[in-house]
Amino acid sequence: MSAAPTPDAAPSVGRRIAYQGEPGAFSEEMIVAIDPAASPVPYPTFALAVTALVDGEVALAVLPVENSLGGVVQEVSDQLTEHPVHITAEHWLPVRHCLLVAAGAANVPVTRVRSHPQALAQCRRYLERLGAMPVPADDTAGAARALAERHEPGVAVIASRAAARRYGLVIAATDIQDHPGNTTRFVTVARGPAGWPTAESWESGKVSLTVETAHRPGSLHAALGVFASRQLNLTRLDARPIPDRTFEYRYYLDFEYDVATKAVAALEELRRTVHAVRVLGVYRPVAPAGMGPA
């Protein structure tokens, strides 16, 4: 059994760090918050960002895994299981969305709003009040860049203040997210598989993992009982289809532990209870009261 990965809460100076999107994206903002001296490297998709990491083009990747309003970013979950990578840290970024329009179009009624599906979901109520049609785009900053290039009348985008500055757009409205506490949880990802917690791990920490249970009644209940019996707090539980097993699912779990030996014991029992367990990362969690990066 391999040892748990070395703590890596922040990239060192000068590292190239991959992210999905274009300059001005919230992911780039997160990287700058983690390490202002890092070199953010944009990629059009999550798959390309993770592939660049695996191929050694970058030292790390910073990826959004879930949002407090929009929920889990399923594409990232898939990438974490499809590649030999592991999570080394988590970071929280308060997300403040703006409605951006082209210069000279501030008084034109907005009929369509483009942005990443997560951003559209996080601003659903605002868009309903505005009466505008949401139009999905690959990312927030990319939508901003496209609007600056095309100057489409009646079209606005949801993106950051940084994107407005970078692409010369006008901020028509600020803080349009459905809740003022809107926060995205990012993870720093490194090459190589994760190890399991060991007795030498942090006294308290967090584990991300996937579980494949038997396809029979009570199998998920038995798996979750491993954590309940040890008073280990599950902070995430969701499912994704297993491609080669029709209507069977892989479960994604995060749990926090206060003693490393409890986490080790839980995972050992879990391995005996289910078909397969894969640890995606062992790292320090962000304190619940902290609304900024770890």
Please pick, among 88, 140, 184, 188, the residue that the annotation labels catalytic: 184
Phi-psi region of 268 (alpha: psi -120 to 50; beta: other; left: phi over 0): alpha
Q: Mean pLDDT, the chain, as a whole number?
A: 90
Q: Could you report the per-residue pLDDT of 225-256, keeping only the tens digit for each?
A: 999 999 999 999 999 998 888 888 999 999 99
Is pLDDT at 294 greater than 50 in this prediction? no
Pick the CATH number of 16-94+182-191 from 3.40.228.10, 3.30.390.30, 2.40.110.10, 3.40.190.10: 3.40.190.10
Amino acid at 274: V
> CB-based contacts of 162: which residues, under 8 Å, 6+ apart?
24, 28, 29
Q: What is the mean pLDDT of residues 265-289?
A: 88
- Could you check whether 16-94+182-191 and 205-283 share the same CATH topology? no
Please pick, among 26, 46, 186, 255, the residue that the annotation labels catalytic: 186
The alpha carbon dihedral of 126, 121, 28, 157 has a sign of negative
45-59, 102-116, 198-212: which has the highest mean pLDDT? Answer: 45-59
Pick the CATH number of 205-283 from 1.10.10.10, 3.90.930.12, 3.40.50.20, 3.30.70.260: 3.30.70.260
**DSSP H/E element including 282:** strand 276-283
Q: Rounded distance, CA 48 to CA 50, Å?
A: 5
Domain boundaries, the chain: 16-94+182-191, 98-174, 205-283
Residue 2 has what pLDDT?
A: 36
Domain 98-174, CATH homologous superfamily name and number:
Periplasmic binding protein-like II (3.40.190.10)
What the block records as the tokens of 5 is 């990965």
- Indicate if 184 belongs to the active site: yes
What the block records as the tokens of 187 is 């993870």
Q: Could you report the per-residue pLDDT of 168-223, keeping only the tens digit for each?
A: 999 999 999 999 999 999 999 999 999 888 888 888 899 999 999 988 899 999 99
